[in-house]
Every structure is written in C-alpha cells, then in structure tokens.
Amino acid sequence: MSIYIKQNSPKNIKLLTAQRHLYQQAKTLQRWRTIGTVGLAAIAPFVMFVFPQSKTIMGMAGGLWLLISKLIFEDIEAGKIKTAAIIQEQFDTILFDLPWNSAISGNKVEPEIISSAARTIKGEKAELENWYSDTGNIPYPGDVILCQRAGLVWDWRLRQYYAWVIGAMTAFLFIFGIVLALITNQTVIDYFLALFLPSLSALLKGIEITRKHNKIAGEKLKLEKRILTIWTTFLNDQDSVTKEHCRQIQDGIFILRSQGPLVPDKWYEWLKNRYQIDMESAVLELVKEADAVLDIKKAA
C-alpha cells in the first residue's frame, strides 16, 4: 500500500489527531506566556507616566514574570512538544516502514494517552488527511525520501519567515524604549526600572524565538540538501539507497522536531495554502524527474 493511501487509515489519523491536540496545548501555554510578556511591556510606558511612583513595582513584576515563565511554563510546554514529536515519529515510522530508534526517540507514547488526546479533537480530523503529497509510483525508499524532504522544506520556510518578523518586532521594541526614555528625559535608573525591566521578558523571548527558529530552519535546510544528495544517488542507482538512509534522515528530523519552538496557528493558517501549493508542485516535479529517469533505465 502506498504512503499516500496508508496515511489516511483510522489508526494513522488518530495519531495525527493526538499529535495536534498536544501541540495545541503547548501553543496555549505559549500564548499565555506571550500575553503576560507582551502585556507587561505594553503597559510599562503608561504606568511610567500615570503612576511614576510605581516604577520599582513594575521592575519587580517584570523580573518575577520572567522567572515564572522560564522556570515553570517553559518546562511544561517543552514536555508537550516532546510527546507530540514522539507521536509524529510513530506516525512516520509506520508510514515509512522504518524501525523504531529508541536511542533517539525513547519509548513510544502509551495508547491510552494517544486515545485520550485524539478524543478531544473531532471536527478537524478531515484536515489531517493527505498529510504527505502523492509520490506516484516511485518505488521504496524513493517515496519515503520525497515525503521527508517535503516536510523539511515546509517547516524551514515557515520558521525562517516567522523568525524574520519576530526579530524585526523585537528590535523595534528595544529601540522604542530607548527613544521614549530620551524624549521624556528619563534617567538611566528610571528607564531601567520603568521600561527595560518590564519589557525584558518580551525582549528575551523575542531574541530566543528568533535565534531558535533560525537555528532550526538552518539545520533543516542542511538536512534537506543531504536528502537531495541521496535522491540523486537513488535516481542513478536505486539499490544503493536503503532503508537505513531513510532511518538516519528520520533521526535528524525527530531531533529537530522535538527541540524546535512552535509557530502560532494563525501564522501557519496564513501561509498554509501557498505552502501546500508549493509543496505539491515540488513533489510533482521530482516525481516526473524520477519517472523519466526510471523509464529510461527500464527501456535500456
């Protein structure tokens, strides 16, 4: 059975549903962390003008929120991401007929947890069908390589664009605080307490998001280039590319997937349609390329 057909089986859709639920939980935590972080940065200038005597309190609030966000919420969010990544790995290994690598991925997620997570999402299951594009009649493991590449390209493009926007917003926030302090003739201490400390969590978060997304995007781009090398080898000699090559690529994918920060749903939805078109077009071109080469070899 082809990957395109097998991915839509009830068992596999259940895995994707559970994965999505856990990612949504992680994104909810991320959203509240962002609200608290941005909220403090946003109200700091207002408090500075209306309640100047509260500058010390605002500075303490900013520092306290930074500790709570980093030491508590961040760990819970990371745990949700790791579990979701393991479930996605279960989905991929079933589709790609790859052995489970416990040294990299650890233990599989318990069926009860998957069932519980999957049960919470009902109306969105149809959106999870056709997770990977149709690879046509490309023989194994060429079809696996195409699917792995498609997922990588989709993700690094999404992250790269998001990192650029967040980086620009973070720079603007930092410059705005300095300009505001200069315009209002604030002392260094007043700027530090009233503006910098309340916005410190937002600045650090912005820098962290930009750095991590750029790093993950760069690593996935490198992995994609490695896949293209394997793909070229496959076209020249199908027997020279084995399941082990796919397993090694999958290890890299899992490590980056489990460590990577999340992209908000709104951002994903905004770019989804154009990225889907690009992905399907690229897969189609590579399938045509393979069909032409393989047909020539058959004729020879």
Condensed to tens digits (0 to 9), the pLDDT of residues 125-141 reads 667 888 998 998 899 99
Q: How far apart are CA 258 and CA 263, in angstroms?
A: 13
Query: Residue ranges of the domains in the chain?
Result: 3-129+139-299
Determine the pLDDT at residue 267. Answer: 84
| Sequence-distant (≥ 6) Cβ neighbours of residue 32 within 8 angstroms | 73
Measured CA distances, 94 to 10, 88, 124, 243, 252 (Å): 13, 10, 22, 13, 17
Q: What is the pTM for the complete model shown?
A: 0.83
Determine the pLDDT at residue 120. Answer: 73
Determine the pLDDT at residue 244. Answer: 94
Determine the pLDDT at residue 11. Answer: 92
Determine the pLDDT at residue 187. Answer: 77
Residue 66 contacts residue 204 (beta carbons within 8 Å): yes
Which residues does the chain have with pLDDT short of 70? 37-66, 69-71, 121-126, 193-194, 197, 295-300
